[in-house]
Amino acid sequence: MTELRQRAVREPDAPSEDKELESEAKVDGETASDSESRAEAAPLSTSADDTPEVLNRALSNLSSRWKNWWVRGILTLAMIAFFFIIIYLGPMVLMIIVMCVQIKCFHEIITIGYNVYHSYDLPWFRTLSWYFLLCVNYFFYGETVTDYFFTLVQREEPLRILSKYHRFISFTLYLIGFCMFVLSLVKKHYRLQFYMFGWTHVTLLIVVTQSHLVIHNLFEGMIWFIVPISCVICNDIMAYMFGFFFGRTPLIKLSPKKTWEGFIGGFFATVVFGLLLSYVMSGYRCFVCPVEYNNDTNSFTVDCEPSDLFRLQEYNIPEVIQSVIGLVCAAHVGQATPG
């Protein structure tokens, strides 16, 4: 009887306990049932073949392994040709492309944060993110323009004023953005808002700073842009080729198709390719000379006397290394000589 009474007393409290469990199961404003229904409504993702129809017809008689080989090869040659065209168009076009890539990368990363942020109906996140991107680009590239095109800046009165107070204007713009962020704070969501504020700043640090340094290298000479990117392309191609023909040993579980043979072969091929490409490009002024502004023609020029860095130099091997090499050679000759 006492057990039945205790059970009857506990039963009215059951709904309240269910409500507590339901409130704890809410994630980002959603209940577990909502998330389950959304998961059921979501269609199953199916892998689609993006290979052009022309290539599918031409390679229909090949096995899937060799078909993949030819598709990768043809598309790689097409992208390399497009890369050569961009290089031919000059450093200014490369800078514009780097800026476009920067904006696209920033958009992709910020969109991830916005999908979380928007679920709480909190204001101004995307607006403030793009505003801070504008402020940071204004600061970085304003400094670059002032340094590399000082003569042009001093000749134009508006540019001279902007150059004189550039850092003050940049600091003022950032303060305006910070005040807008403070005004957008909503009670009970301070932690999330400061989290997303940090998300934006880390994204700016990674994306904008990196692209600014790339453009800074372009101003110093196209060789500092072309060689690193070409080495990355070469490593990707040669690692695939060595892995395709000689790959036997898996490299990591995260990517089962990667092999040690492809990794090692790609490494040595990239080292050789980098040395050869650097040697060839060092002989052309259009690649090693910095971008400068010509006051007489009012245009950008790439012409200079190459520095000693891009000329072949004779170096003497230190005596310690010479003695070690001599001992090794003498020992090798002694072992090779019979009796």
pLDDT in tens, 151-208: 777 777 888 888 889 999 999 999 999 999 999 998 888 888 898 899 999 999 999 9
Per-residue confidence (pLDDT) for residue 5, from 0 to 100: 45
Residue 207 lies in a domain: yes
Per-residue confidence (pLDDT) for residue 129, from 0 to 100: 92
Residue 136 lies in a domain: yes
How large a percentage of the chain has pLDDT more than 90?
A: 30
User: Among positive and negative, which fits the CA dihedral 19, 23, 26, 29?
Assistant: positive
pLDDT in tens, 222-248: 899 999 999 999 999 999 999 989 988
Question: pTM, whole model, 2 decimals?
Answer: 0.69
* 76-101 average pLDDT score: 88
Per the prediction, the chain carries an average pLDDT of 80
* 14-43 average pLDDT score: 42
Per-residue confidence (pLDDT) for residue 56, from 0 to 100: 73
Residue 205 lies in a domain: yes
* 295-319 average pLDDT score: 79
The label of the residue with tokens 């969109």 reads 111
| Distance from C-alpha of 318 to C-alpha of 306, rounded to nearest angstrom | 28
pLDDT in tens, 99-130: 999 999 999 998 888 887 766 677 788 889 99
CA angle at residue 143 from 140 to 144, to 5 degrees? 90
Per the model's pLDDT, the better-predicted residue between 34 and 272 turns out to be: 272
Q: Does residue 301 contact residue 294 with C-beta atoms inside 8 Å?
A: yes
Q: How confident is the model at residue 324 (pLDDT cuts 50, 70, 90)?
A: confident
Residue 310 lies in a domain: no
Upper half-sphere CA count for residue 41 (Cβ side, 13 Å): 6
Q: Does residue 142 contact residue 153 with C-beta atoms inside 8 Å?
A: no
Main-chain dihedrals φ then ψ at residue 300, nearest 5 degrees: -90, 135
Residue 90 lies in a domain: yes
Number of domains in the chain: 1
Q: Which two tokens mark 173?
A: 């713009």
Residue 215 lies in a domain: yes
Domain containing 125 equals 62-220
Residue 280 lies in a domain: no
Residue 166 lies in a domain: yes
